[in-house]
Amino acid sequence: TDLEDLHLYATPREQRFRRFASLEFEGQLYMTPYDFIQAVTNDEPKHARKWRSLSKQELNQILMETPPVWKGSSKLFRNLNEKGVISYTEYLFLLCILTKPHAGFRIAFNMFDTDGNEMVDKKEFLVLQEIFRKKNEKRERKGDEEKRAMLRLQLYGYHTSTNNVLKTEGEDLVPRSYWDTLRRSTSQALFSDLAERADDITSSLSDTTLLVHFFGKKGKAELNFEDFYRFMDNLQTEVLEIEFLSYSNGMNTISEEDFAHILLRYTNVENTSSYLENMRCRIPEEKGITFDEFRSFFQFLNNLEDFTIAMQMYNFASRSIGQDEFKRAVYVATGLKLSPHLVNTVFKIFDVDRDDQLSYKEFIGIMKDRLNRGFR
């Protein structure tokens, strides 16, 4: 009962992690790769979860079967399935990856590469643990200190003091996302003292599938940018493949209506039926959306901030946004060429007043929700 009460002190992200996690080792909760895929592609776990306690021997056996990073693929998480452990901070890191454009991969790598040698070692990567922990302490809800300490133990594997919170010059400067936290931490040159703390926690933390995948079973290997880039690209592709295949039924395409369902998931749109009905009336003959079109659209979503700037240019100039303007703005902002059929489908979904123009504010708002899978 005490453990269930902890849900009241958890943030929405923490609650989701606790809901989907299925493993526990020495008091700390972990997801399997299967749990992670379920958490980013489903609203709720398929089955009521009870945390299964791992022995040290079972954990070592799981980690022994982890492939090295150069053997990674876009089926890594599906192949590992239940044979892997992912910590809470790694869960946050993987969520960051899913929403970032390819251009951001180099930024991420450089943020970890604190000594500038074009390689990331295990100690540098573990700085991530400290940055996300400090960020999380700022968001902790008020309440029973003992319960919050128990929650931290579940999520991080060790007790922490809330007195060690990262200081800023004012609450208005607190970054809004974990990605922003990484960037701010870099600009504030915080890595030196965090690296010292990483030394302290390295010995007390258990290895995970991600740490063994990146840095080898002995933790001595180093990660280069090419392998890091390929891992991030593979993860994005794998999640999109899973979502696409869940609707395609073995075919090469999904229907335009299924595409609309996927787009409107995890958004605050209450009456999705009006969008779907609008599209059915305006695209009576089904042509289908291919995986290449599907993937290119979500790559575009990962560049949504740059696209928003391009859209505001049209808005300032009092220019309406038709399909040609939309395609041009996407290409200018992201370098991606969306197919005419894909753009037409998007317009038919979101052009509620049927004037063949897009209300960019409404579209942007809905797509930001979808990009962040409900955790804007």
User: Over the stretch 147-175, which tens digit does the pLDDT of each residue have?
Assistant: 778 888 888 886 544 344 333 334 444 44
Last residue of a domain, one of 197, 230, 263: 230
Yes or no: say if 65 and 93 are a contact pair by the CB < 8 Å rule.
no
Report residue 246: phi and psi, to 5°.
Answer: -70, -15
User: Which of 222, 204, 197 lies closest to 115, judged by CA?
Assistant: 222
Q: What is the mean pLDDT of the chain?
A: 81
Indicate whether 67 belongs to any domain: yes
> Across-strand partners of 119?
224
In a domain, residue 243? The reply is: no
CA 280 to chain centre: 31
Query: Are 35 and 147 in a shared domain?
Result: yes
Tell me: pLDDT of 259 over 70.
yes
pLDDT band at residue 255 under the 50/70/90 scheme: very high
Run of H or E including 214: helix 209-215
39 and 179 both lie in a single domain: yes
Q: Which domain holds residue 137?
A: 2-230
Instruction: Choose one of 230, 260, 278: the last residue of a domain.
Output: 230
- Residue 28 confidence (pLDDT) above 70: yes
Q: Does residue 121 form part of some domain? A: yes
Whether residue 363 has pLDDT greater than 70: yes
Confidence of residue 341 (pLDDT cuts 50, 70, 90): very high
Residue 356 is given by DSSP the state S
Of the candidate ranges 163-177, 193-207, 292-306, the one whose mean pLDDT is the lowest = 163-177
Residues 190 and 314 in one domain: no
138 with 12, same domain?
Answer: yes
Encode pLDDT of 83-111 as tens digits.
999 999 999 999 988 988 888 888 888 87
In the chain, % of residues over pLDDT 90: 37
For residue 232, pLDDT beyond 90: yes
By DSSP bridging, strand 23-25 and strand 28-30 are antiparallel
Close Cβ partners of 301 (under 8 Å, ≥ 6 residues apart):
367, 370, 371
Give the pLDDT confidence score for residue 194 in this predicted structure. Answer: 54
- Say whether both 9 and 109 belong to one domain: yes
**CA 257/CA 273 separation, integer angstroms:** 11
Tell me, what's the pLDDT at 220?
92
| Same domain assignment for residues 304 and 353 | yes
Q: Are residues 205 and 255 in the same domain?
A: no
* DSSP letter (8 states) at residue 320: -
Q: Do 268 and 151 share a structural domain? A: no
In which residue are the tokens 């996407």 written? 330
DSSP string over 114-169: TT-SSEE-HHHHHHHHHHHHHHHHHHPPSS-HHHHHHHHHHHHSS---GGGPPP-S
> Among residues 195, 230, 265, which one ends one of the domains?
230
pLDDT tier for residue 187 given thresholds of 50, 70 and 90: very low
Q: Within a domain: residue 101?
A: yes
Whether 201 and 346 share a structural domain = no
242 is a domain residue: no
In the sheet that holds 23-25, the strands lie side by side as 28-30, 23-25, 52-53
Q: Are residues 63 and 156 in the same domain?
A: yes
In a domain, 99, yes or no: yes
- With 0-12 / 13-18 / 19 or more C-beta atoms within 10 angstroms meaning exposed / middle / buried, residue 204 is exposed
Is 76 found in the same domain as 15? yes
Specify whether 43 is located in the same domain as 183: yes
Domain count, the chain: 2
pLDDT tens, residue by residue, 121-153: 998 888 877 777 777 666 665 566 777 788 888
Higher pLDDT, 298 or 111: 298
Task: With respect to residue 34, please indicate whether it lies within any of the assigned structural domains.
Answer: yes
Q: What is the pLDDT of residue 67?
A: 95
Q: Which residue has the higher pLDDT, 45 or 137?
A: 45
pTM: 0.84
Residue 238 lies in a domain: no
